[in-house]
Structure 1
Amino acid sequence: MLEFWYLGCAPCREDHKKMKLISKSLKDKKVEVIGLSTDENILEWQKYLRNNEYDWTNYVVPETNTLLNDLKISSYPSYFLIDSNYNFIGVFANINQFQYDFLDKLK
């Protein structure tokens, strides 16, 4: 699951707290989260991740990156779920929607 976020996004930070709570369920169901942040202040970004001990992979992607334009990212957070064969499965506006619409239905 690709998660698009940035530090100034309060809903993104709230979702991170929820994701931390369901991280075992994510791992058990083989969902890997890759966070893609548009933050420019790398030190603040690193400090935030370190202080909150979030264990999923995170990268910084400049807002000028073509990926953001190609996926038409216009709101944050945004979640894109793809399978291991790179097939698109769904888009979710928040972690609650992802959990309800997808994660809870996985066996």
Structure 2
Amino acid sequence: MKKCLFLILLFIFITNCNKNKTVNKVEHKITAEKINFQKYNFNTTSKIKEKIVLTQGVTYVLDFWYLECPPCVKDHFLIKKSIASLDKENVKVIGISIDRNTNNWIEYLLEHNYNWQNYNQFKGDFNLKEDLGIKLFPIYIVVNDKGKIQEKFHSFKYVLKYLSKI
């Protein structure tokens, strides 16, 4: 009986592992094709509200994250290491935190010297995370200079791999 149960569990484990062997692209319910950034206000680390303005010829990586998300925080180290080379390729990272406590968010960014463009958007009439239906973190959305969504990932290393091919 134990042997039979073990074989069944092993079969379930193997079939699930094969299905999710490499989850580099997001199989996510984001159906939007384009983001209208003028619709949204974001909080800055200076505690003012601002709109994201896209620059022609620049590719953007939106990093949706929050402090209590270990994979989010882990990926920030890789982002910091990659930011200079991404800048040379006209790629800008924009962090969008959903943290409720903006003071903790600001302290975290300052403490780790994460000085790429970072915003917080927890509440508001128009909430980008909610409009996109984001439920899993981290999520990285690559957009062009017109706000058109190019690709989505759950790991920054896959973002880098994708960007190296375009």
TM-score, normalising length: structure 2: 0.60
Structure 1 counterpart of 2:67? 7
Aligned mates of 2:88, 2:127 — CA distance in 1: 32
Q: CA deviation at 1:66?
A: 3.1
Structure 2 counterpart of 1:48? 108
Q: CA deviation at 1:30?
A: 0.8
Superposition pairs of residues 1-80 of structure 1, within 5 angstroms: 1-62=61-122, 66-80=127-141
Aligned mates of 1:24, 1:66 — CA distance in 2: 30
Q: CA deviation at 1:105?
A: 1.8
Q: CA-to-partner distance for each residue in 1:4-35, whole Å, 9 max, x for gaps?
A: 00000000011000001111111011111111
8 A Cα contact 2:139 2:153, kept in partner: yes
8 A Cα contact 2:64 2:95, kept in partner: yes
Instruction: Tell me the matched-pair count.
Output: 105
SS in 2 for 1:90: strand
Structure 1 counterpart of 2:8? none
5+ residue gaps, structure 1: none
5+ residue gaps, structure 2: 1-60
Aligned mates of 1:71, 1:31 — CA distance in 2: 22
> 46-55 or 57-66, which moves further after superposition?
57-66
Aligned mates of 1:42, 1:70 — CA distance in 2: 21
Aligned AA (1:68) = K
Q: CA-to-partner distance for each residue in 1:59-96, whole Å, 9 max, x for gaps?
A: 11116753212211111110111101222111011101
Aligned mates of 1:19, 1:80 — CA distance in 2: 14
SS in 1 for 2:91: coil
Q: CA-to-partner distance for each residue in 1:27-57, whole Å, 9 max, x for gaps?
A: 0111111111111111111110001111211
Structure 2 counterpart of 1:103? 163
- Percent identical residues: 34
Aligned mates of 2:154, 2:63 — CA distance in 1: 10
